[in-house]
């Protein structure tokens, strides 16, 4: 199972890297989708992986550091895969890469058999 976990971590890293520029550069409210309850979901997920997360000094988002979120993407799955549907629909190259990575992440999640990431739909168009 170690290879499945390594693949999952890598796919989450890749999808977070793909979506981040859209959320930072192409958004009227960069990072505006963060919510305290999503930080709590990351905390739950980290516990399932036997990890603890380093709390930051942000007034509402406990894992938002001065350089951005400090949680590795595989421990904040909902945040890592989230991007406006606008980007997926309007940029076909981005949309194809995004949907392929998202499908890969979901397949690996299923293989790993951990509790499904809360709030994350199995199918993007659901």
Q: Which residues bind ligand SF4 (CB under 6 A)?
A: 22-23, 27, 29, 31-35, 38-39, 42, 61, 63-64, 69, 71, 76, 79, 82-84
End-to-end Cα spacing for the chain? 29
User: Beta-carbon neighbour count of residue 119 at 10 Å?
Assistant: 12
> CB-wise, 49 or 111, nearer to ligand SF4?
49
Nearest approach in angstroms of CB 92 to ligand SF4 is 17
Closer CB to ligand SF4, 90 or 116, in the complex = 90
CB of 3 to ligand SF4, least distance (A): 26
Euclidean distance between CA atoms 39 and 35, whole angstroms? 7
Q: Is the dihedral of CA 123, 84, 37, 21 positive or negative?
A: positive
């Amino acid at each position: 199972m170690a290879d499945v976990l390594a693949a999952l971590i890598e796919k989450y890293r890749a999808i977070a890297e793909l979506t981040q520029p859209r959320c930072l550069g192409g958004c009227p409210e960069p990072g505006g989708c963060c919510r305290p309850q999503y930080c709590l979901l990351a905390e739950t997920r980290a516990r399932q992986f036997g990890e603890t997360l380093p709390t930051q000094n942000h007034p509402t988002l406990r894992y938002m550091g001065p350089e951005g979120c400090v949680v590795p993407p595989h421990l904040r799955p909902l945040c890592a895969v989230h991007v406006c549907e606008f980007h997926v629909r309007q940029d076909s190259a981005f949309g194809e890469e995004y949907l392929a990575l998202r499908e890969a992440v979901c397949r690996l999640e299923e293989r790993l058999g951990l509790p499904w990431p809360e709030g994350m739909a199995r199918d993007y168009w659901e």
